[in-house]
Structure 1
Amino acid sequence: MEQLSKYHENKPHRLKRITWYIVNATIFRCLPGMPLRYIRNALLKAFGAAIPWRVPIYCSVKIYMPWNLSIGKYSCIGPHVELYNKAPIIIGDSVVVSQGAYLCTASHNISASQMDLVTKPIILKDRAWVASDAFIGMGVTVGEGAVIGARAAVFKDIEPWTVVGGNPAKYIKKRILKNE
C-alpha cells in the first residue's frame, strides 16, 4: 500500500470542474421537463459541450466534464444516465442512451505500482442504442446502428448493426430494420 500513498492525479480545470459540479447538482437538476431542456442545454454549452439546442438531456443526467461531450442531432440522453467523461464522449446522430446507463472514459493502470489514471474516449456512432443500466467502458466504439442490451457491460468495440448483451457483452444477433 505504500506505493499508493504517493499517488498523484493531475486535475486540470479544477475551478471549472468544481463550478460545473455545483451547477449540475443544483440548477441543472431543478429544470425538469422537455420545455426546459433549452436552459439545460444552454448551461451545457456555456461549459463547452458541443450539442444541438433540441437534444433532450434529462435533468437527472450526471455529466462529469461537459467540455468533453459532443452529441449529434436527434439524440437523447435518458434519465439517471451518468457520463464520466474525463476523456471525450462523442455521441452521433439519432443515438439513444437509456435510463441508468453509465459511460466511463477512465480507469487505472493495474500494472503500475501507483495505478496511474488512464483515459480513452467513448464513441457512439449514428443510430446506436444503449439500453437501460448498460455500462460502456473506456476506449469503446459502438458501431452505427448497434444495440447494447439492458444491463450489458461493454469493454470492447461493437460492430455496426449488431445486438449485444450480457456481462461481458457478447454478440446476440444482427440488427435488421424491417421498414427500410
Structure 2
Amino acid sequence: MSTPDLITDRKAFDGPTFSLANRLRRLAWSMTWLLLARWTPPQARLWRLALLRAFGAKVSWQANVYASVKVWAPWHLEMAPLAALAPGVEVYNIAPVSIGEKVVVSQGAYLCTGTHDHRDPAFPLYARPIAIGRRAWICAEAFVGPGVIVGEGAVLAARAVAFKPLAPWTVYQGNPAVAVNTRPEIKA
C-alpha cells in the first residue's frame, strides 16, 4: 500500500521522496505542534486532540496524546476512545496507523510504517500501514514495524521488536518478538 504523497518509482524519478505539497504540509504541522502543543501540560489533552484533528487525524475526544509525542503525519492517524500515546512515543506514519479502543502505547515506543527495499540498488522507500487492535499494549520503547497487525489484547513487551503480526491475547518479547505467554481475554 502506498500513499499518494509518496513517490515510489525511484528509477523514474531522482528527486525528493515526498511531494512539495506533502513537505509543506508536514512543515506546517511540525511548527504548529512545536509552538502550540509541545510545551502544554497533561491537562491540555483536548487542545492537543483539537490540533491533531485540525490536521486531519481521526482521533476520539476520549483519546490521549501527550505533548512529547511526535506524529509525522496526523492525517494518517486514527485513534479510538481511551487509546493513549504516552510521553516520547514516535509515530512515523507515512502510511495509516490505526489504534484501537483502550490501547496503550507506552513511553518511548516507535510505530514505523516506512522502510526501504534493501535489495533494490535505488533503495526505494515504501510504506505499509499498522493496525493495533483494542486492548493491546505496546510497552516502553517497543518497535512496531511496517505492515504489522497487532491483535486484540496482544502485548509487545518493553524494547521488543515486531515485524510480523501479533496474535490476539498473546504476550511477545524479544528481537524479533516471539510469543512467550497468553493473557486472559477481557470482554469489556
Normalised by the size of structure 2, how large is the TM-score? 0.88
Give % identity: 43
1:138 aligns with 2:146: yes
Number of the residue aligned with 1:64: 72
Question: 1:98, 1:169 → 2: CA distance?
Answer: 17
Following superposition, the deviation at residue 174 of structure 1 comes to 1.1
2:112 is matched with: 104
Displacement of 1:120: 0.3
Report the CA distance between 1:7 and its aligned residue: 6.2
Pick aligned residue for 1:23 from 32, 42, 62: 32
Q: Residue 7 of structure 1 contacts residue 116 of structure 1 at CA under 8 Å; is this kept in 2?
A: no
Task: Please say if residues 106 and 118 of structure 1, whose CA atoms lie closer than 8 Å, have aligned partners that are also in contact.
Answer: yes
5+ residue gaps, structure 1 = none
Aligned-residue CA RMSD (Å): 1.8
The reply on whether 1:52 has 2:60 as its aligned counterpart is: yes
Do 1:24 and 1:63's aligned partners in 2 also have CA atoms closer than 8 Å?
no
The 5 A counterparts of 1:142-153 are: 142-153=150-161
Query: Does 2:22 align with 1:9?
Result: no
Contact conserved, 2:71 with 2:93, CA < 8 A, in 1? Answer: yes
Listed one character per residue, the Cα deviations across residues 73-117 of structure 1 (whole Å, up to 9, x for unaligned) are 111110000000000000010100000000000010111111111
Unaligned runs of 5+ in 2: 1-10
Candidates 84, 91, 95, aligned match of 2:103: 95
SS at match of 2:181: strand
TM-score by length of 1: 0.92
- Number of aligned residue pairs: give it: 175
For 2:154, the aligned partner's letter is: A
- Other-structure match for 1:86: 94
Please say which of residues 57-66 and 167-176 is displaced more in the overlay: 167-176
Deviation at 1:28, TM superposition (A): 1.4
SS in 1 for 2:59: coil
Q: Per-residue deviation at 1:72? A: 0.4
Identify which of 116, 123, 132 aligns with 1:115: 123
The residue aligned with 1:174 is: 182
Change (3 A) 1:13 1:170: same
CA distance in 1, matches of 2:89, 2:131: 16
Supply the distance in 2 between the matched residues of 1:66 and 1:125 (Cα, whole angstroms): 19
